[in-house]
Structure 1
Amino acid sequence: MHSNHDFFRLAGRRLLGLLAALAAGSVGIADDKQELLRLLRQEEAYGPISQRVPGKAPSTSARAAQESPQIRTSSASPRPPISRVRSASPIAPEKIEINPAERRVKPKKSPSWLTSYTIGPGDTINIAMYNRPDLFRESVPVGPDGTVSYLQAIGVRVEGLSLDEVGEKIQSEIRDYHPRAKVFVTPAELGSKQIAVIGQVKEPGKFALDRPTTILEAIAGARGIQVGQVSGSAFELADLERSFVGRDGGKLDVDLSKLYFQGDFSQNAQLEPNDYIFIASSLRNEYYILGAVSDPGRRKMPTKLTVLRAITDAGGFTKEAYKMHVLLVRGSIHNPTTEVINVRDILTGKKADIPIQNRDILYVHKRPFHIAEDAVDSAIVTFVQTVAAEVVNQNYNPLSIGAGD
């Protein structure tokens, strides 16, 4: 039987091996999960490895002493709070360029679809021929395949064309039968351009974008934000700090909390086709772990959760993950507070494992970074895309909130 001294010495060797693998980036998914979980269990039972006394399991008072300033900052020297922009790391890294496609999308003052409407499935059009009222056709539907039919022009593809271009194309198709025809096309009902309002609104769903529509008008079209009652008092069920407008796979650069609570109408952007408004819930007890982990996504928030346990619960790092640092995003996604967390410092006991709070986002990047600015855009865009994927796949089901939460 091994003595306690041998146990701690063996644990120390395994930890050094893990750190070497972390530095080399060679730890596989299964190894990460096993090693992180083993270290977590040992830390819960004995405290951080660097603070253990060989041959003796620490007592309750000894565990309290593990909060000494030599190992981690105490109440006299608290751990730096989560800060906006950058970590307190002394490393001066080379600036990493962020892909411009990962930047937040700027709203347009005059959306292009308003200046030149293009036809698509769901629209109906009126087709007329000059000086031939008998050939007028009203409310001709654009088929699911993007085609229309008129007289001898059968199955003419018009999707993506303007009204004038549709008229010219139909005119070209019937020229053999009507050589001097002049065809005019006008809209009857516009239904091909749509937006979606999802989340904590009274009537979520898709809505036709048949006129200029702002964010507030779209929310009003969904009958407004859901309201609950407690002891006869009404309260809104939305968390606007984490609500957003999605566009082209990114987040539209508007702050819904400023729009709603501060009346900042500069945030009330015009919507474009395929935009979606997500109104987050203020009741769900959840967090997100995203990026280079084996099983990224939204998770139920347990009573107690730390960074290492969250990574372990997500199956550990992938082979492509940058394992030295992870990014913690907290608060509003429009103006978040961030912290770069040094995983190695936690594993070696130099710093305590950091608790995860309700609605936190933990992001594991594939590229090295040392300051939050290098990764926060990627984290927010990944969050937006994850929420969108959950909605599209109809997997965004409410998470039950237990009595103990």
Structure 2
Amino acid sequence: MTVARGNSMTVAAGNTVVCLDQKRLQPVEARPLCVWLLLAAALAAQLGCRSTGPRFDARNPAALVLTNVTEAAATNQIQPDWLKPSTNLFVLGPGDVFEIEIIGDVTTHAMAKVGPDGKIYYNLLPGLDVWGLTLAEAKATLEKELAKYFAQPQVTLTLRAVESKRIWLLGRFNAPGIYPIATPMTLLEAVSLAGGAGASPGVGGTTVELADLRHGFVLRQGQLLPVDFYRLIQEGDMTQNIYLQPDDFVHLPSSLSQEIYVLGGVRGPRSVPYRDRMSLTFAMASVGGPAPDAYLSHVAIVRGSLSEPQIAVVDYRAILAGKATDVLLEPRDIVYVPLTPYRYLTKYLDQILRSFVHIVAANEGSTAVSRRGGTVGLSLGVGPP
């Protein structure tokens, strides 16, 4: 619904209420909170709307309403295809290692590794391109080429190590690392492969550290997948048990983590250790303050689980000018400073979450690579037909 008043109009869409200047089509300076609440209530009554989610105060004593952005979840659901194993067969790529032997001739036994150019070198054969071939196709290709030197050769081909197809299982797993994936694997199977969600034994058998399931995430080709680890692991909800794909990044943070992430238009975007009664102003100062071109009127605070996030938009410029009270932060809050005004709350939230998971993935991934030693082996044999 749109309500026009003078040179401005108020647009309501879902749980988003934005006031636009009709001449410039830009957000107008924020009205007093009570005016917005009354307007939202009036629009809801006219449209027969229901509240989109819980609200709570992030400012004390001045009230700042954080609204659960439920329409984001409505457009970002688990896709049915994600719950089905891929029909694509494993194909070879650079780094993969396998055993080759011509049946009946043990002297032909050798290990071969797919080179960066996608080729293998075996016996009398020149470089044989196997990049993108299945094991069965590679076996047939080898037998065809070896037939130039051997009478009706039959080859056994056994995959021993996978380097071209990997998944990243990092954070608070009992055995975090980079694992090969050669066959369809569900998220629960991957968690089990990494030793389960982490828990360190404390004194007397108590647990001192657990994985924070509400802030775990799966990143695929740069996109945050709407997987709820709490529902999957704690409640046994198999609708969250997706099949992983090569290069998927899975992260479970520690439940003891006490950090604030300050991202976007700031001088040094990074995580900041949380301290008691930490304010927005203190967090901003900890990263060097806002960038010169930052848009301070729409600073966002994202709170809660990644599957059901809550967001508040704060006028930080008013705080700096002494026209508004500061905001107290909580552990795991994400503070995001935009460079331009936002127009749609759900798109703004999506942008913030993507920035957050990319930062975490980059930091955790680089650490994992620097610590990694050797490859994780497995056996997947292909014998004579």
Equivalent-residue separation in structure 2 for 1:287 and 1:336 (angstroms) = 15
Equivalent-residue separation in structure 2 for 1:257 and 1:120 (angstroms) = 35
Aligned to 1:341: 314
Aligned to 2:199: 226
Aligned to 1:352: 325
Q: 1:75-131 deviations in whole A, cap 9, x for unaligned?
A: 6xx513322239xxxxxxxxxxx9xxxx8995723354x5221102443446578xx
Aligned to 1:30: none
Matches within 5 A, 1:73-222: 79-85=63-69, 108-112=82-86, 114-125=87-98, 134=105, 138=109, 140-145=111-116, 146-167=118-139, 170=142, 177=148, 186-192=157-163, 193-222=165-194
TM-score normalised by L of structure 2: 0.67
Q: 1:275-308 deviations in whole A, cap 9, x for unaligned?
A: 2321111112211111221211111112332223
Displacement, 1:357? Answer: 1.0
Q: 1:360-390 deviations in whole A, cap 9, x for unaligned?
A: 0111223321553131111111111111111
Contact 2:177 2:368 in 1 (8 A): no
SS in 1 for 2:296: coil
Contact 1:328 1:363 in 2 (8 A): yes
1:394 aligns with 2:367: yes
SS in 2 for 1:153: coil
Aligned to 1:274: 247
SS in 2 for 1:394: helix
Equivalent-residue separation in structure 2 for 1:116 and 1:320 (angstroms) = 49
Displacement, 1:205? Answer: 1.6
Worse-matched range after superposition: 157-166 or 299-308:
157-166
Equivalent-residue separation in structure 2 for 1:210 and 1:139 (angstroms) = 21
Displacement, 1:257? Answer: 1.1
Displacement, 1:186? Answer: 4.3
Displacement, 1:267? Answer: 0.7
Equivalent-residue separation in structure 1 for 2:127 and 2:246 (angstroms) = 25
Aligned to 1:65: none
Contact 1:200 1:279 in 2 (8 A): yes
Q: 1:143-187 deviations in whole A, cap 9, x for unaligned?
A: 342321234322323223333543565567668x46997886744
1:293 aligns with 2:277: no
Aligned to 1:17: none
1:312 aligns with 2:285: yes
Paired letter, 1:328: I
Unmatched segments (≥5 aa) in structure 2: 1-58, 370-385
Equivalent-residue separation in structure 1 for 2:78 and 2:133 (angstroms) = 26
Contact 1:117 1:162 in 2 (8 A): yes
Contact 1:237 1:283 in 2 (8 A): yes
Paired letter, 1:345: A
SS in 2 for 1:154: coil
Displacement, 1:395? Answer: 8.9
Displacement, 1:359? Answer: 0.8
Contact 1:123 1:191 in 2 (8 A): yes
Contact 2:100 2:112 in 1 (8 A): no
Q: 1:308-327 deviations in whole A, cap 9, x for unaligned?
A: 33223212233453332111
SS in 1 for 2:216: strand
Call closer, same or farther: CA 1:74–1:322 in 2, change over 3 Å. closer
Contact 1:147 1:159 in 2 (8 A): yes
Contact 1:138 1:188 in 2 (8 A): no
CA radius of gyration, larger in: 1
Unmatched segments (≥5 aa) in structure 1: 1-72, 87-97, 397-405
Equivalent-residue separation in structure 1 for 2:361 and 2:174 (angstroms) = 19
Equivalent-residue separation in structure 2 for 1:324 and 1:104 (angstroms) = 31
Call closer, same or farther: CA 1:318–1:166 in 2, change over 3 Å. farther
Aligned to 1:332: 305
Paired letter, 1:162: T
Paired letter, 2:83: K
Paired letter, 1:109: L
Matches within 5 A, 1:232-271: 232-234=205-207, 236-271=209-244
Matches within 5 A, 1:372-383: 372-383=345-356
Displacement, 1:241? Answer: 0.8
Contact 1:125 1:187 in 2 (8 A): yes
Equivalent-residue separation in structure 2 for 1:156 and 1:182 (angstroms) = 16
Equivalent-residue separation in structure 2 for 1:253 and 1:274 (angstroms) = 17
Worse-matched range after superposition: 151-160 or 230-239:
230-239
SS in 2 for 1:303: coil
Equivalent-residue separation in structure 2 for 1:174 and 1:395 (angstroms) = 40
Contact 1:127 1:136 in 2 (8 A): no
TM-score normalised by L of structure 1: 0.64
Equivalent-residue separation in structure 2 for 1:335 and 1:288 (angstroms) = 18
| Percent of residue pairs bearing the same amino acid type | 30
Displacement, 1:272? Answer: 1.5
Equivalent-residue separation in structure 2 for 1:74 and 1:392 (angstroms) = 38
